[in-house]
Amino acid sequence: MRIAMIGAGYVGLVSGACFSDYGHNVTCVDMDKDKIARLTNGEIPIFEPGLGALVASNVHSGRLSFTTDLQEAVVDADVVFIAVGTPSRRGDGHADLSYVHAAAADIAKALDGFTVIVTKSTVPVGTGDDVERIIAETNSDADFVVVSNPEFLREGAAIEDFKRPDRIVVGLEDDRARPVMEEVYRPLYLNQAPLMFTGRRTAELIKYAANAFLAMKITFINEMADLCEKAGGDVQAVARGIGLDKRIGSKFLNAGPGYGGSCFPKDTLALVKTGQDFDAPMRLIETTVSVNDQRKRAMGRKVIAACGGDVRGKTIAILGLTFKPNTDDMRDAPSIAIIQTLRDAGATVRAYDPEGMEMAKAALEGVEYTANAYDAATGADCLVLVTEWNQFRSLDLRRIHEVMATPSLVDLRNIYRRNEIETAGFAYTSIGRSDQTTDQAPSALEAVE
Which residues, 6 or more positions from 180, have their beta carbon under 8 angstroms from its beta carbon? 1, 78, 79, 116
Identify the active-site residue in 18, 263, 307, 382: 263
Count of C-beta atoms within a 10 Å radius of residue 33 = 9
Cβ-proximal residues to 119 (8 Å cutoff; 6+ apart), any chain: 81, 82, 100, 127, 128, 131, 146, 147, 148, 149, 150, 204
Backbone angles phi, psi at 54, to 5 degrees: -65, -45
| Residue (of 144, 194, 170, 191) closest to 22 by Cα position | 191
**For 173-321, where are the E strands, in sequence order?**
195-198, 315-319
Q: How far apart are CA 173 and CA 177, in angstroms?
A: 8
CA distances from 322 to 100, 335, 387 (A): 27, 7, 7
Distance CA 158, CA 18 (A): 10
Q: Of 122, 126, 79, 119, which is closest to residue 103 (Cα–Cα)?
A: 119
* Residue 382 appears among annotated catalytic residues: no
Terminal Cα-to-Cα distance of the chain (whole angstroms) = 37
433 close to 229: Cβ distance less than 8 angstroms: yes
Q: Which residues are catalytic?
A: 263
